[in-house]
Chains A and B, each alone.
Chain A
Amino acid sequence: MRIIADLFLLVGAAFCLLGAIGLLRMPDVYNRIQAGTKAVTLGALAFLIGVALLMPGWWPKLAVIAGFILLTNPIGSSTIARAIHLAGVDAWRKTDTPTREGDA
């Protein structure tokens, strides 16, 4: 049990790290939001599962936290994305690729 819990904690931390790397590496706001939201949501969930395995008595509260994360994380991201979209920022385009067919 202890090992499985640790594994979940590790996976959660790994996804949060990936989210952070994504934030740094992505070229524009929309892609950063994409990387940030998905990775951190799953990372947090994995973390909560890990904690639930370590502390079985806490699981109802952890489930509530998970529910709120699942509900509010995407809303926050979409709201930021919408504000940026309304401010007139367009989707990022790769400009340094020499061959590109059917560019719409």
Chain B
Amino acid sequence: MSKSASSVVPLTIRLLVVGLLFLLWIAMVGRFDAREWLVGLVLCLLVAAAAGDHLRVFAGVRLHPGAPLHFLRWFAYFLVALLKANLDMARRVLTPSLPLNPAFVEVRTSLESPLGKLALANSITLTPGTLAVDIHDDRLLVHWVDASPGTDLEAATARIAAGFERHLLGFLK
């Protein structure tokens, strides 16, 4: 995202952030209390106003009716990946010979916004055998534990990223 593009954050994005903050507040209060909720709403508005142009980060969110559904699908996919990652890691850790073949691989992404890349990097870090190490433009450097000699590194890693990307592109740019 270029700096000159827009320093003004769209109103919808501001409202989205206020909504998110308010949800957090409600979750922390934990029960209905008109006075507490009102104070929370005022604080959320203040925080969103004070954050100003920094809210530009959230411009990476795609706002459309299908977005929440895509988010839920990504989250389900992510939870399964996290579970698999742990079983895989448990197997590696507990095998006496430590079956590891680490290597660095580069993954290309079509997510353009910083928020999108962050979500992808976080997803990759919690996927079986992969750890996002660095981001340069549209390339993610990934540490992969299972690069056995002979496997097609690029193809295998691209597959890992593609699974997340498909879901992430539904609600992030």
Contacts and interface: CB of A to CB of B under 8 A. Distances in A.
A71 B94 CA distance: 28
Contact of B93 (A22, A45, A61): A22
Contacts of A86: 134
B141 A85 contact: yes
Contacts of B141: 85
B129 A34 contact: yes
B103 interface: yes
A63 interface: yes
Interface string A15-28: 10010011001111
Given A25-B93, A91-B104, A33 B150 contact: no
Contact of B122 (A22, A42, A74): A74
Interface stretch (B23-31, B48-56, B159-167): B23-31
A53 to B, nearest CB: 17
Interface in B1-45: 24, 26-28, 30
B125 A77 contact: yes
A82 B134 contact: yes
Interface in B108-151: 118, 121-122, 125-126, 129-134, 141, 143, 145, 149-150
B98 A25 contact: yes
Interface residue SS majority, chain A: helix
B93 A91 contact: no
B131 A60 contact: no
A37 to B, nearest CB: 6
A88 interface: no
B121 A100 contact: no
A60 B126 contact: no
A98 interface: no
B89 interface: yes
Interface of B: 24, 26-28, 30, 82-83, 85-86, 89-90, 92-94, 98, 100-104, 118, 121-122, 125-126, 129-134, 141, 143, 145, 149-150
11 contacts: A18-B89, A18-B93, A21-B93, A30-B143, A38-B82, A38-B89, A38-B126, A42-B83, A86-B134, A94-B100, A102-B150
